[in-house]
Structures are given as C-alpha cells and as structure tokens.
Structure 1
Amino acid sequence: MKKITFLLYTTTILTAIFLISACGNDAPTDQNTDGVVLSGDDEIDQVSQRLSQDPNNAELYALRAEIFYEKNSYDQAIADMTAALSLDSVNIDYHHLLTDIYLDYFRSRLALQTMERAVAIAPEDISSWLKLSEIQLFLKMNQASLASIDKALRIDPQNALAFFFMGKNFEELGDINRAINAFQESSEIDPEMLDTWIKLGQLHASIDGNLAETFYDNAIEVDSSSTIALSAKAEYLWDQDNPEGALELYKTAIRKAPMDEKSYYNAGLVLLELDAMEEAYDHFTMAIENAPLYAAAYYYRGYAAEALGNNEQAVQDYEHTIRLAPEYVQAREGLNRLK
C-alpha cells in the first residue's frame, strides 16, 4: 500500500527535482530521447537516467544527492534527499547525509531538526546522539548537548568522542576543571585522538603552564605532520616569550604543508617581532600566494614594506587590504601615515 501511495508522489518529486537541477546550475541542460532532463554532468546524468527507469528507488535519490553535495549543489542535494526520505523515512544514513548537507549549507537549525528525528527513530544509535550533541554544541545549546552525550554514554560508556564533546561543553560553560577531566578521560580511552591532546595543552596553559608542553608534545607524537598540532605548540611557546622556538615550529609546519597559508602568516608575525622585516615580508608574500584573499597577510606585508622603506609597495598592500576588508582600521591608519 505504501509503494502505491508513493508512486504518484515520487513521480511528481522526480519531475520537480529534474527542474531544480536544470535551473540550479549554470551548465546548459538538454533532454534525451526519453525526455529526461540532462545536466551536462555525466555522473549526475547517469543516475538521472536510472531514476527515470526506477523512480521509487530511494538509494538512487541518495546517490545523486551525494554527488550534488560533493559538487556544492546544495539545493539539488536537499531535494533529492527529501525524495529519498519520503521513500525510506527510517534510514539513519539518509538522515546523517541530509544533516551534513544542511550544515555545509549553513542551515544549522534544519540540521538540528533532522538529527532530532534520527534519534527518535533509532534511540540506540550512538552515532546519531553524538552528531546531535555536536550540533547542539555548535548552537551553544550546552545543556541539551550534555544530555545527548549522557544518552550516548549510556550506550557506550567508553566512547572517547563523547567525552571530548563533554569537555568542549564544560569549557564553554567556564568549568575548566571538569573540562580537563573530560578531555583526560577521552585521551585515556583513545590516545590517538589528536584534538584531545591539543585541548588539554590549551587548558593547562591557561591555568598551569608546567604541564601544557607535554600535552602538545603528545599531540605532535600522534601526528608529526599535523600543522594544527605544530601550530598549537608554537602559539604556546610564543605566549611563553619564546618566539625563536615558535618560529622553528612554524617553519616545520611550512615544510610539512607548503600550501598552508596560516603557517606562513604566523611565521611572518613572529619574524616581525624579531625585527626580521625582509624575511617577514617574504613569508607574508607566500601566504598571499597560497590565499590571494587573505586580507591580514596583505596588511602585514604592507607593514613590513613600510618598515623597509618601500612606501609604494606598502600603499598598494594597505589599499588591497581595504578592498578585501573595508573595516580594517589598521590599514587605513597605514595609508594615512603614508599619504
């Protein structure tokens, strides 16, 4: 009975989605001899052809939604997931995929509602409770997030990710001791969880710097190629009045990931502090080459240029900063100095 009910409904959905696909992309569309609207993308059109022959196949809608999602075509992806869930409303994987699409499309409230439905459908699915708690954490719903974590830990009392999210919630609530305890529990359950060691380093640095460096070293030991871990320890060393140590770590991060603009930028800031203006200028230039819209990198390259006496270059960089970020007060002050 359910399939008969959905037959007319999904045929209507199929037509609507094809129209959305046709209108939502800049690529030209066409019709084949079967009347199927083509997007011009072979991967999408192959699934569309299969759907024209099997319009009640929820997996095909989900498959095409995933392809649209990978191509950042969010409206089409959402339309296809709506069709998939109309055919298979209890599929938890579909709820998770739709949630991911909503989150990347900055529709966090819709993502929240989708995961609330997921845990209602499958209250024993720990991954759904964890995903729900993460969304609630993002939305600053800390008590609700902690309640979801409690549900997850009732299912799996040794879940490292649940304790990690618990620590994040307590940190946001200002309860640093409970946050540290939660992160510590997470690290004991899963010593390979990089983010946990970094959080422990940051929190200990805020209350007792003696242990912080050990936690940062643990993070680097977990993944020596992680620019996040290297930069976290570098920032700590910089705060501890050790800019030389920080610079060494930022340069290590650059060697590990030469396309990471943040490492060049941070190294440039340290070099400014060390009064190494030419080298700082070069590092900001590399940050700009890797991220041409990096307003702060333009500003500090201009600052370095001004310090080197290259006022023409400084003016160009300050003006470019303002074009990218009109509210950048320091860039306007720099222009006033030079003009």
Structure 2
Amino acid sequence: MSKIVSILSLCFFLGACGANNHYQEQFEKGLTFYKTKKFAAAIEAFSQCILIDSNQVAARYNRGLSYDNLQEWRLAQADFEAVLRLDSTRIDAQSALAQVLFEQKKYKQAEELLRRSLQKLPANKTLQRDLIMALLHQEQTEAALEQCDRLIVLNHKNAEAYFFRGYIRAGNRQKMAKQVALQDYNEAICLDPEYLLAYYNRGVLRNELKDFRGAYDDFSQVLTLNPQYAPAYIGRGYARGGLRDETEACGDWQQALTLGHQPAQKLIEQFCNF
C-alpha cells in the first residue's frame, strides 16, 4: 500500500512540475509576443497560462494589457478586475483598469474605483493622478482643483499636482488665472526639469499670452527632450510666426507633417504659400 501511495505522490509531483514548466513556457512566449506587438498571439499564450492556473495574476494582467492594445477594452476590463479580485494591492492593475474605464467613458466608475483605492493607499501618486484625470473627464474642475490643492498640502514637491493645477487654471478665461497657471507650470518644471508636458503646456499658454520668445524656448526644450514630439513643432511654428520668422515657422510645420501630424497640412496651406 505504501508503495502505491509513493507512486501516486511521485506522479502528482511530476504532473505539477510538468504543468509549471508548460505555464512558464507559455508565459515567456506571451511576453515575447507582447514585446514584438503581436498582441493577438500574446493573448493566446496568456490564455493558455490561465487554463493551466487561473490564480496566477501575471498572466491575467498581461492579457489585459494585450487586449488594451487591441482596443478590446471590455475584455481588458474583465482581466484587470479579475487581477484585483485575486490581489487587491496591485497598483498597476488599479491604474490600468482606470485607463480602460476612461476609454469606455465610464468616468464615474473610474472615480469610484480610484477613491476606494486611495482610501487604502492615500499617498500613491499614480492613483492620485488618475483621480484628477477622472474628475477632469467629468468636467468637475473645482473638485479636480481641490484635489490638486490637497496633494500639494500633503507633499509640496509633487510636480504632477502643480502641473494639473496649472492645466486647470490655464483653462480659465481670466488673464489673472492664466498668470497663476504659469506659476504652477514653473513650479512643476523646477521640481522636475525634464517634465515634457509641463514645458509643452507652458509653451501653449505663453503663445496664448503672446509671450512668443518664452513659448519658443519652451517648445525647443520639449524637442530637446523628445525630437519626435510633433505637436511641439506646431507650437514652435506659431511662436516663430509671432516673432515674424515665417520661413522657420513653415519649416517647423513641415517637420510636424513629416512626423505624421496631419493638422500641420492646413497651416502650411494657409501660411506658407510664399
């Protein structure tokens, strides 16, 4: 009898090892497909992992990301929700779920998710940022502004909070509010000198306030950080136009078009026929 038990135990052990090896093989295959943007193949590999062990969160999370890249947002949502049922502490899954809810315009649901998450992790910057975005999507600008203020009180070195507060204030029609928005962008950049979006949005605001030299400098800094960021060529083109440098402005818009930014075509047609 003891020999039979020993044999059965050995068979169980070998079967478990085989399953684990097959899981790892499929998981590595899925990661390779994902990295090479073969998302449908990645989904198939991660699905095989889930069939082997439905409690492994890594396969579900990565399958959710693959669905997200194929704009299969409902399926991505289901996977991220399953991850959080298995492990409610996964911040990456909470943020990813919020993003796919945004894509489906389920902004209130995203807000509720993020508020629950922040009750457990009140200092998490990713969740704080996503909550501000959820509020802005719902046009709750005052609530978003209050959230920014709250974050700055908690941590006066939170560059994202200053950035979002600047973004909100820049949308105000009053010039005084726009000047205060500039100060917020300045603070965000002071805290993070490589904050590309802060430079870009400050450049947009400076163009609006007709500070074309300052806008030119901001967009040039954006392009130093990322030469492929086409919208910055549009903004710098406007700034150069304001500085009466039409030839260089057209050169910037042409570069934006070369990078595939189609709005540049109308600007070229309208201003560059000389």
Match of 2:245 among 271, 276, 280: 276
| 1:184-217 per-position Cα deviation (integer Å, ceiling 9, x unaligned) | 3344556665443321101122332242112101
User: SS in structure 2 opposite 1:57?
Assistant: helix
Amino acid at match of 1:71: T
Give the match for residue 299 of structure 1: 266
Q: Post-superposition shift, 1:182?
A: 1.5
Q: Distance in 1 between matches of 2:80 and 2:228?
A: 36
Percentage identity across paired residues of the two chains: 14
Match of 2:62 among 94, 97, 122: 97
The answer on 1:233 being equivalent to 2:202 is: yes
| 1:205-262 per-position Cα deviation (integer Å, ceiling 9, x unaligned) | 2332242112101222233233322111011112223223212221232334334332
Q: Post-superposition shift, 1:124?
A: 4.4
The answer on whether the counterparts of 1:264 and 1:287 sit within 8 Å (CA) in structure 2 is yes
The within-5 A match list for 1:133-282 is: 133-189=98-154, 194-207=159-172, 208-282=177-251
Cα 1:120–1:254 change in 2 (3 A) is: closer
Cα 1:120–1:218 change in 2 (3 A) is: same
CA RMSD across the alignment = 2.7
Q: Distance in 1 between matches of 2:111 and 2:227?
A: 39
Q: Distance in 1 between matches of 2:179 and 2:241?
A: 28
Q: Distance in 1 between matches of 2:153 and 2:68?
A: 30
Q: Distance in 2 between matches of 1:294 and 1:160?
A: 31
Match of 1:65 among 30, 42, 58: 30
| 1:17-74 per-position Cα deviation (integer Å, ceiling 9, x unaligned) | xxxxxxxxxxxxxxxxxxxxxxxxxxxxxxxxxxxx8785212211111110111111
Q: Distance in 2 between matches of 1:95 and 1:187?
A: 35
Q: Distance in 2 between matches of 1:272 and 1:202?
A: 24
Cα 1:121–1:193 change in 2 (3 A) is: same
Structure 1 segments of 4+ aligned residues over 6 angstroms from their partners: none
Q: Post-superposition shift, 1:138?
A: 3.1
Cα 1:126–1:214 change in 2 (3 A) is: same
Q: Post-superposition shift, 1:284?
A: 2.2
User: SS in structure 1 opposite 2:227?
Assistant: coil
The answer on 1:108 being equivalent to 2:73 is: yes
Q: Which consecutive unaligned segments of at least 5 residues does structure 2 have?
A: 1-7
The answer on whether the counterparts of 2:233 and 2:255 sit within 8 Å (CA) in structure 1 is yes
The answer on whether the counterparts of 1:231 and 1:249 sit within 8 Å (CA) in structure 2 is yes
Amino acid at match of 1:257: N
Q: Post-superposition shift, 1:264?
A: 1.9
Q: Post-superposition shift, 1:268?
A: 1.2
Cα 1:176–1:59 change in 2 (3 A) is: same
Higher relative contact order (CA 8 A, sep 6+): 2
Q: Distance in 2 between matches of 1:125 and 1:287?
A: 39
Cα 1:205–1:285 change in 2 (3 A) is: closer
Amino acid at match of 1:135: V
Q: Post-superposition shift, 1:287?
A: 2.8
User: SS in structure 2 opposite 1:157?
Assistant: coil
Q: Distance in 1 between matches of 2:28 and 2:231?
A: 35
Give the match for residue 76 of structure 1: 41
Q: Which consecutive unaligned segments of at least 5 residues does structure 1 have?
A: 8-52, 309-339
Q: Post-superposition shift, 1:273?
A: 4.0
Give the match for residue 18 of structure 1: none
